[in-house]
Amino acid sequence: MKAAPFDYHLADHLDHALELLDHLGNDVKLIAGGQSLVPMMAMRLAKPSHLVDINRIQSLQQINLQEKSLYTGSTVKQKDLESSHISQAIPLFKQALPWVGHQQTRNRGTVGGSLAHADPSAELPLIATVLNASLHVQSHNSQREIRAQDFFLGPMWTSLAPQECLTDIHWPIWNKQFFGSRFLETSIRHGDFAMASAAAQINLNPDGTIQQLSFGVGGMGATPIAFPSLSQPLIGKHLSSEAMHELANQAILLTEPTSDLHASASYRMNLARTLLSRALLGAFEQAQQHPQ
């Protein structure tokens, strides 16, 4: 399983990378950690003529706390996000990152790489979708912001144009008061892609009503899925355990999972419903217990 031949270009800064993307044509791919791309090239499922390596660009490797968001450059390594104190601001990271492959994967894999690869069962795309993170994308002569819920279009398919590079992501930070979050996934082996996954995050008001709620599932369709149409109407309301189960049920009915070798569609629906229920309940319990 040896990759097909290609030419290699190391970009030392972002503008250089964007220039290369611009004039190397359409058969060019960016590489950072390569944990998804290199195996695909080994299997000859991807055969780009050119690779532009953005893994040494310092400006894309920053993590910092901003006023209302956690900022990560796109080539921040998953292991650095996992071990950084700053990531405590978004507890979903600490809960989900241990599920991203294994230590070897996370030592090379990048935050932006996982998002750009857009596997519908992957952990970081689900978190981005649930938080509706803000993704910044640049090309040689343009830049734009895309919200995560508009970024993922299908399996391994995003709204990135061929000459565009994902440069950084702003992950919204919620209120620390009455906060809860839960990430759950089930796979046959630890580190495999999830058969289904669920993430939920909640802020309660002091009176126990919902101040903010977001939840979603992975592995249940062409992209990770959040359910703003179901969570929005619940703001200001109380939510019982039974209602949470029903909410999970309603959400899953909106999905169309497929069957594959490891999980049938009906099993997936059952699994996702279970995980989503548990995630909602878990997040809610945590929010009630921890005024912080």
Partner 1 sequence: MAQINSYTITIEVNGQSVTKMVEPRISLVDFIREELRLTGTHVGCEHGICGACSILLNGDPVRSCCMFAIQANGMRITTVEGLAPERGQLSKIQDAFCEKHALQCGFCTPGMLIACQALINKIPQPNETQIRAAIGGNLCRCTGYQQIVDAVLFATKISSPNPEQ
Partner 2 sequence: MSQSDTPNEKQQFTYIGKHRRAVEHRRFVVGAGNFAGDIQLPGMCHVAIVASPYPSAQIIKIDAQAALALPGVVTVLTGEELCQQIEPILPGVDAPSVQRFPLAYPIIRYSGEWVVAVVAQSRAIAEDAAELIQVQYAELPFVIDPEKALQTGTHLVHQIAKTNLIFDRQFVWGPVDQDLANCAHTINYRVRWARSSTVPIETFAVVCDWQDATQILDVWASIQMPKFPDQLAKALRLPNNSVRVHFDIDVGGSYGVKRGLKHTILVAYLAKKLHRPIRFIEDRLENMRGGDMQGPDRIFEVTMGFENDGEIRSMKMHAIDDIGAYAGRTPLQLGKPVGAICGPYRIQSVAYHAQAVLTNKTPQEAVRGFGQAPTNYAIETGIDLVARFLKMSRIDLRKRNLIANNEFPYLIPSGTHYDSGDYAAVLDKALKSASIEDLHQQRDDLRKSGELAGIGISTCLEPSGGNSAFEPLFNPKNETTTWMESCLVRIDLGGTITAIMGTSSSGQAHETLVSTVIAEILLQDPETIRVIHSDSLNALPSNSPVGSRMAIMLGGAAAGAAKKLKQQLLAIAAYQLQKNPNDLVYSANRIYDHTNQNNQISWSTLVEIAHRKFHLLPANMEPGLQEKFVWEVPTGGQLPSTDGKVQMYPCHSFESHVVLLSIDPKTGKVKIHRYVCGHDCGVMISPDVVHGMTYGGIAHGLGAALMEKFAFSPEGQFLSGTFMDYLLPSATEVPGITIVDHCTPSPLTEFGQKGSGEAGYLGSPAAIASAINDALATIQASINYLPMTPNAIWNAIQDKNSTKISN
Note the residue count of the chain. Answer: 292
Binding mask 52-91 for partner 2 (x = CB under 8 A): ----------------------------------------
d(CA 275, CA 281): 10
- Tell me whether residue 52 or residue 166 sits nearer to partner 1 (CB atom): 52
Least distance in angstroms from the C-beta of 286 to partner 1? 23
Question: Could you list the residues that contact partner 1 (CB under 8 A)?
Answer: 1-8, 10, 31, 34-35, 38-39, 41-43, 49-51, 53, 55, 79, 98, 101-105, 107-108, 190-191
Does the protein bind partner 2 through residue 270 (CB under 8 A)?
yes
Asked if 210 and 235 count as a contact pair (C-beta separation under 8 A), the reply is yes
Which residues is 200 bridged to in the sheet?
A: 182, 215
> In whole angstroms, what separates CA 130 from the centre of its chain?
8
Does the protein bind partner 2 through residue 274 (CB under 8 A)?
yes
The site partner of 16 among partner 2, partner 1, none (C-beta below 5 to 8 Å per kind) is: none
End-to-end CA distance of the chain: 52
HSE-CB for 68 with a 13 A CA cutoff: 6
Residues numbered 169-208 forming contacts with partner 2, rule: CB under 8 A: 186, 188-193, 195
Least distance in angstroms from the C-beta of 47 to partner 1? 9
Q: Which of 71, 149, 78 is nearest to 113 (CA)?
A: 78
Q: Which amino acid is at 100?
A: V
Least distance in angstroms from the C-beta of 34 to partner 1? 6
Q: Which of 177, 226, 179 is nearest to 199 (CA)?
A: 226
The site partner of 240 among partner 1, partner 2, none (C-beta below 5 to 8 Å per kind) is: none
Helix 241-253 to helix 265-289 angle, to the nearest 10 degrees? 140
Does the protein bind partner 2 through residue 262 (CB under 8 A)?
yes
- Tell me whether residue 2 or residue 68 sits nearer to partner 1 (CB atom): 2
Does the protein bind partner 2 through residue 144 (CB under 8 A)?
no
Does the protein bind partner 2 through residue 44 (CB under 8 A)?
yes
The site partner of 71 among partner 2, partner 1, none (C-beta below 5 to 8 Å per kind) is: none
d(CA 147, CA 129): 8
DSSP assignment of 232-263: GGGTT----HHHHHHHHHHHHHT------SS-
Q: Which spans of this chain sit near partner 2 (rule: CB under 8 A)? A: 1-5, 43-44, 186, 188-193, 195, 261-264, 267, 270-271, 274-275
